[in-house]
């Protein structure tokens, strides 16, 4: 991040790991404007697990993508650690994401032609880690997630819960400071949801990582230290569990 650091002068002065200040996101649809976020303020402390809870269309994915630097806001400021996302170029943002951020998606987003092991270690390929070291770290991670006997299976040869565990391994393999998760158990049954969340949160808490997770499921929200409720692009309530 050296090149990015040099260009940043308006830094986050708080001790937060994720911060959103008065974030507005409008989409233009023909001549109609859709307000997805209408002035959202959110701070997540280092090591904190925050769950954004809201019904479909309330703006959860939009908020997550903007907080993670995948999308730009129409207005408002975003910070990850000391970095102000608004001031980063696309290249700097890519570097920040690679080094700081892990993503977990509802539909796993695995590469179908690659094995579980190859999928899990993909972030290490971009980091230039040697194949031998990649294999070692990938195996360790997948074993920890109970997939030691599925290393060579491709996504199509795995169950939904197993696929999501591979995606979790991929998100965590380079030990990111921040994890963003968009309905990570949205496609799984209740029992598998509990298993996966327990596994994920164990690892995250053990490593002191920070997580922002979004869901429509009140049961999933109980896993957060704090819950942020969203309705129609506004935060309507924030409470601790
Ligand atoms: N690219 C886009 N163009 C236009 N409108 C969009 C776009 N992305 C999202 N929206 C609108 O913004 C609002 C918020 O969408 P968002 O995807 O953030 O909701 P969500 O809370 O994640 O919903 P879900 O639980 O269904 O995933 C919705 O009304 C949606 O139609
Ligand atoms: Mg969504």
User: Distances in Å between the alpha carbon of 114 and those of 21, 68, 99, 122?
Assistant: 39, 26, 23, 10
Q: Which ligand ends up closest to the CA of 32?
A: 1
Using the mean position of ligand 2's atoms as its centre, give its distance from the Cα of residue 40 in Å: 16
Query: What region, left, alpha or beta, does residue 59 occupy, with left being phi > 0 and alpha being psi -120 to 50 degrees?
Result: left
Kindly state the average pLDDT of the residues 17-33.
Answer: 96
Helices (H) and strands (E) in the chain, counts: 9, 10
Collect all residues with Cβ–Cβ distance below 8 Å to 130 and sequence separation of at least 6: none
Q: Which ligand 1 atom is at minimum distance from the Cα of 233?
A: 14
CA dist., res. 226 & res. 228, Å (int): 7
Q: Which ligand 1 atom is at minimum distance from the Cα of 64?
A: 18
How does residue 11 score in pLDDT terms, banded at 50, 70 and 90? Answer: low
Q: Which ligand 1 atom is at minimum distance from the Cα of 230?
A: 21
- Which residue has its alpha carbon closest to ligand 1 atom 6? 27
pLDDT, one tens digit per residue, over 74-97 is 999 999 999 999 999 999 999 999
Using the mean position of ligand 1's atoms as its centre, give its distance from the Cα of residue 187 in Å: 18
Q: State the chain's mean pLDDT as an integer.
A: 93
DSSP string, 18-68: EEEEEEEEEEEETTEEEEEEEEEEEEE-TT-EEEEEE-TTSSHHHHHHHHT
The pLDDT assigned to 15 comes to 86
The pLDDT assigned to 7 comes to 41
pLDDT, one tens digit per residue, over 114-172 is 999 999 999 999 889 999 999 999 999 999 999 999 999 999 999 999 999 999 999 99
Query: Exposed (0-12), middle (13-18) or buried (19+): which is 167, by Cβ within 10 Å?
Result: buried
Using the mean position of ligand 1's atoms as its centre, give its distance from the Cα of residue 36 in Å: 6
CB 33 within 8 A of CB 26: yes
- Which residue has its alpha carbon closest to ligand 1 atom 11? 36
Does the pLDDT of residue 6 top 50, yes or no? no
- Which residue has its alpha carbon closest to ligand 1 atom 8? 62
The pLDDT assigned to 215 comes to 97
Q: Which of 59, 183, 185, 221 to mutate to test the pocket of ligand 1 (most atoms within 8 A of CB)?
A: 59
CA dist., res. 204 & res. 223, Å (int): 12
- Which residue has its alpha carbon closest to ligand 1 atom 18? 59
The pLDDT assigned to 152 comes to 97
Query: Does the C-beta of 57 come closer than 6 Å to ligand 1?
Result: yes
Query: Does the C-beta of 60 come closer than 6 Å to ligand 1?
Result: yes
pLDDT, one tens digit per residue, over 211-233 is 999 999 999 999 999 999 999 99
Using alpha carbons, select from 96, 61, 75 the residue that is nearest to residue 20: 75
CA dist., res. 196 & res. 48, Å (int): 18
- Percent of the chain with pLDDT strictly greater than 70: 94
The pLDDT assigned to 12 comes to 63
pLDDT, one tens digit per residue, over 62-80 is 999 999 999 999 999 999 9
- Domains observed in the chain: 46-70+98-240 (3.40.50.300)
């Amino acid at each position: 991040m050296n090149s990015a650091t040099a260009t940043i002068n308006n830094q986050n002065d708080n001790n937060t790991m994720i911060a959103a200040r008065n974030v507005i996101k409008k989409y233009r649809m023909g001549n109609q404007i859709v307000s997805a976020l209408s002035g959202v303020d959110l701070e997540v402390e280092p090591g904190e697990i925050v769950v954004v809870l809201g019904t479909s269309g309330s703006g959860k994915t939009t908020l997550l993508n903007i907080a993670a630097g995948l999308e730009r806001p129409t207005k408002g400021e975003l910070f990850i650690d000391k970095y102000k996302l608004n001031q980063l170029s696309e290249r700097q943002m890519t570097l920040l994401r690679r080094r700081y951020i892990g993503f977990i998606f509802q539909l796993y987003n695995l590469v179908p032609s690659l094995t579980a092991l190859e999928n899990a270690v993909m972030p290490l390929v971009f980091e230039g880690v040697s194949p031998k070291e990649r294999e070692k770290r990938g195996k360790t991670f997948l074993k920890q997630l109970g997939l030691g006997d599925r290393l060579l299976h491709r996504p199509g040869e795995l169950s939904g819960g197993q696929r999501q565990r591979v995606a979790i391994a991929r998100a965590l393999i380079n030990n990111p400071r921040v994890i963003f998760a968009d309905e990570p158990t949205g496609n799984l049954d209740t029992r598998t949801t509990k298993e996966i969340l327990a596994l994920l949160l164990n690892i995250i808490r053990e490593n002191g990582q920070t997580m922002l997770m979004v869901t429509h499921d009140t049961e999933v929200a109980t896993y957060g230290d704090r819950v942020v409720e969203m309705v129609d692009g506004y935060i309507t309530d924030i409470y601790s569990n």
